[in-house]
Amino acid sequence: MSAAPPASWPGRDGQPISCREKLKMLAENHAEAAQVLRDTFEDAVLMGVDEAAMRRLLAELVASLETPRVKA
């Protein structure tokens, strides 16, 4: 199963991102992140880590990401 990227990427102003280059980069990043997360999850479960615990650990990892500084 593959997680598709979102149909639209909301910008800081609430409007969807429309720049084709940005959309291309976001889609590529989404696919890359999805693959790394799938591999990490599968490896952990195959090594005996509890599936629910691993899902929680990955969610906590994402929740702990620091916001990059954005120049206004």
CB 17 within 8 A of CB 23: yes
Whether the per-residue pLDDT at 71 is higher than 80: the answer is no
Q: Are 32 and 18 in contact (CB under 8 A)?
A: no
Could you give the CA distance from residue 41 to residue 55 in angstroms, rounded to a whole number?
A: 8
pLDDT at 1: 52
pTM to 2 decimal places: 0.81
CA pair distance 20, 60, nearest whole angstrom: 31
Tens-place pLDDT, residues 14-58: 999 999 999 999 999 999 999 999 999 999 999 999 999 999 999
- 71 against 68, higher pLDDT: 68
More confident residue, 1 or 55: 55
Angle in degrees, CA 30, 18, 9, rounded to 5: 40
Cα 12 from chain centroid (whole Å): 18
